[in-house]
Structure 1
Amino acid sequence: MELRQLRYFVAIVDHGSLSRAALVLHVAQPALTQQLRQLEEELGVQLLHRSAQGVLNTDAGKVFYEHAQAILKQVADAQAAVVQSAERPSGSVTLGLPHSISDALALPLLTAIRQRYPEITLQLTEEITGSLAEQLRAGRINLAVLFDDGQLGSFAATPLVEEELRFICRADAPAADGHDSLTLRDALDTTLILPGLQHGVRPRIESTARAAGLATHGVIEINSIAILKSAILAGMGATILPVAPVQAEVERGAMRALAIHDPAIARTVVLCTSRNIPLTNAAAAVSRLVVQVAHDLCAAGHWIGARKV
C-alpha cells in the first residue's frame, strides 16, 4: 500500500467520481482506476460502488476513508514538523470545539492567531464532544477542547476554566419572575430542553442530579444550539447550559440566566492532545495560545460564568 493510493482514494471520494478526481490530481483516469483496483485487491474488499452517476463508499470504504484521512494528515504534520521554525511556526492546525464552547472561544482565538501567528492556518471544527474525542484519538484533528468527565486518561489534558451552568429561560418565564437563582430541584421540575447524552453538558447535569438524589424527567432533547434557543424563545421550556451560547439573547433581554444552587453545577473545560501523536511546532503554539486566550477572557469578564483553573 502506497501513500499515493491513499491520496487517490480520498480524492475520488471527495470529488464523487473518478473523472473529476483524475482532473484535480492531474492523473490519467485509467491509471487512477488501476491504482484503486490494486488497493482493493490488497485489502480484499470493495471500497467503492461505481455507477454512471459517480462513486459511493461501501461500508468498508467508509471505514477506510476515515483512516486514510488520518494517515495523510499525520504525514503532512510530520513533514511540517521537520521544516517549521519554533520562532515562526507555520502550517495548518485543526482544533475541535464543542458547540457550547465555540461562542465564547472561537472568535477571540481566531483573532489572536492572526495577530500572533499569521503564518498558521487555524481550522476550527465544531462537533459534539464524543465525536471530537474520537477524531482526536484517530489523529484527524490536532487539538480538542473537551470536558473533564474522569475519562480523558488517553489524552494529555490541560485545564482551561471552570464553567458554571445556569438555568436559561425566556425572560417572561414564571421561573424568572423576581428571582436571580433557583435550586436544582426547582430547575429539574420545569420542562427542560437539553442536548443528548453524547454532548458534554448533559452527562454533567445527570451526574450532579443523581448525586443530589434527583433526576431529570420529561426532557425534550435537541442537539442543535440554534434550534434549542428557538425552542426556548417559543416558550417550549428552559435549559441548563453555560451562558456563552445564549449571551446575545441574555444581553438584549430576551432570555434570563439564573444561578443554580443546592447544589450548583459546573464543569471543567480542558484542552486535550493525543499522547501518541507528537504536536507540530504550529500545533504546540496554538495549544499555548488557547490556554492564554481562555485565561484572558476570564480575567476580563468576557467568558461569563467561567473562572481560571
Structure 2
Amino acid sequence: MNLRQLKYFVSVVEAGNMTRAADQLHVAQTALGMQIRQIEEDLGVALLVRHSRGVEPTTAGKVLYARAIDILKLVEEARREVSSAERDNSETIRFGITPALMLIAGPELALTVRQNLPQLFLSIVEGMSHVLIENLTRGDLDFILCYDVPDLPQFSRTALLQDDLVLITPPGTYKGESIAFVDALDECLAMPEPGDSVRTLVTRTARDLGLELNVTYEVRSISAMKNLVARGAASSILPYFAVIDEVKAGSLAARRIITPALRRTLFLASSKQRGPFRGEAGLTGAVRTSLQRLLDELGTLAQPLWMRTG
C-alpha cells in the first residue's frame, strides 16, 4: 500500500463513484479499480461496497478513509515544512481566483500579502470557478476564491459575500432601470460556456421558472463578451464588477435584474486533505481586505458574509 493508492482510495470514497473519481484523478477507470483491489488484497478485507448507484465504504473502508486523510495531511505538511526550511522559512500558497475578480481584487491581494506577510509567497492562478474547483479537488491549488463552491466533505469553505448579476447592454435609454429576469432572457445573449457559475445560475433560474435560455454567442472570454455588447451585437448577464470601468466610461450600461434577482455566493475554499499553512490566517485577512473595494463598488448589489461558514 502506497501514498498514491491512499489518495486514489480517498478520492473514490469522496466521489462515491468510480467513474467520477477516475475523471477527477485523470486516470483510466480500469487502472483505478486495479489500485483499489490491490489495497484490498494487501489488507485482506473488502473496503468498498459496489452497487448500481456507485460505491460506499465498508466498516473497514471507513477506518482506512479516516487514517488515509490523516496520513495524507501529515505527508503534505512534512513536504511543505521541508520545502519552507530550504527556502529560508518562506511558504508558498497556490491561490486560484476568477478572471473578473482578478481584475478588481487580485492586485490588491498581491500587494497586501507582499506588505503584511513577507514570508508568504502567493502564486496566483486565474480560472473560471468550475475549473478552479476541479483544480482544488485534484490538489493542484491550495486555496480558491470563486463562486458557488459545493458543500463537499473534502472542502473547507468560508462564505465571504453575495452579489447580484446584472444585464449588460450598449448605452441607451434604460440607464438605471431594473429589468425583469423574463425580459432579460428575450435579449440576444452572449454567455460563458456551460459549467461556468454565471451560466449555471442563469440556466437553473430559467428552468425553475419554466423558461428557456437561448444563447446566441457562447464565449469563454469576458473581454470578448464585453466587446460584442459594446458593438451592439448582443447583451450579456455578468457580475457588475466585471464591467465597472466600462459603465463608468459610458461604453456599456448595466441594469439590475429583478423578479428574481440572480444572486451568487463567493467562497474562500481549501482542501481538508492538505496540512495547515502558517500564513493561513493572514491570507484570509488579506482576502477580506482586497474585497473591500469590491464591496464599495457594488454598493446595494452585494452584502458581506464574513462570519458565515459552511
- The runs of 5 or more residues in structure 1 that have no matched partner are 1-71
Distance 1:288 1:139, change over 3 A: farther
Aligned-partner Cα distance in 2 for 1:302–1:281: 32
Q: How much has 1:253 moved relative to structure 2?
A: 0.6
CA-based RMSD: 2.8
Deviations 1:83-110 (A, max 9, x none): 899xxx8322111011232223212211
Instruction: Answer yes or no: is the 8 Å Cα contact 2:92–2:120 preserved in 1.
Output: yes
1:170 — aligned with what? Answer: 170
Deviation at 1:74, TM superposition (A): 7.2
What does 1:45-194 align with in structure 2 at a 5 Å threshold? 76-80=79-83, 90-148=90-148, 150-172=150-172, 176-177=173-174, 180-194=177-191
Letter in 1 for 2:148: D
The alpha-carbon deviation at position 116 of structure 1 amounts to 1.0
Length-normalised TM-score, structure 1: 0.67
CA deviation after TM superposition for structure 1 residue 145, in Å: 1.3
Look up the SS of the partner of 1:162 in the other structure: strand
CA contact (8 A) 2:175 2:253 kept: no
Deviations 1:137-173 (A, max 9, x none): 222211001222645443111001101100011113x
Give the counterpart letter for 1:155 in structure 2: F
User: Equivalent residue for 1:302?
Assistant: 297
Equivalence for 2:228: 231
After TM superposition, the structure 1 stretch with the greater mean CA deviation from structure 2, 278-287 or 240-249, is 278-287
1:20-71 CA-to-partner distances (Å, cap 9, x unmatched) read xxxxxxxxxxxxxxxxxxxxxxxxxxxxxxxxxxxxxxxxxxxxxxxxxxxx
Q: Please state whether the residue corresponding to 1:276 is helix, strand or coil.
A: coil
Q: State the distance in 2 between where 1:76 and 1:254 align.
A: 50
Percent identical among aligned pairs is 24
Query: Does structure 2 retain, via aligned residues, the 8 Å contact 1:96–1:124?
Result: yes
Instruction: Work out whether residues 181 and 259 of structure 2, in 8 Å CA contact, stay in contact via their aligned partners in 1.
Output: yes
Amino acid at match of 1:101: L
- Report the secondary structure of 1:123's partner residue: strand
Q: Any idea what the Cα deviations from partners look like across 1:159-209, whole Å, max 9, x if unmatched? A: 01101100011113xxx5355111001100000101011211110111122
Q: Which amino acid aligns with 1:230?
A: N
Partner residue in 1 for 2:237: 240
Q: 2:277 aligns with which of 272, 277, 280?
A: 280
Give 1:8-27 correspondences, 5 Å limit: none
Amino acid at match of 1:183: A
* 1:29 alignment counterpart: none
- Greater shift in the superposed pair: 142-151 or 231-240: 142-151
Contact 2:96/2:144 (8 A) holds in 1: yes
Contact 1:84 1:281 in 2 (8 A): no
> Structure 1 residue runs of 4+, over 6 Å off?
72-75, 81-85
Tell me how far apart the structure 2 counterparts of residues 261 and 302 of structure 1 sit (CA, whole Å).
19
- Correspondence for 2:60: none
SS of match in other structure, 2:220: coil
How many residues end up aligned between the 2 structures? Answer: 232
Amino acid at match of 1:222: V
Q: Partner of 1:271 in structure 2? A: 268
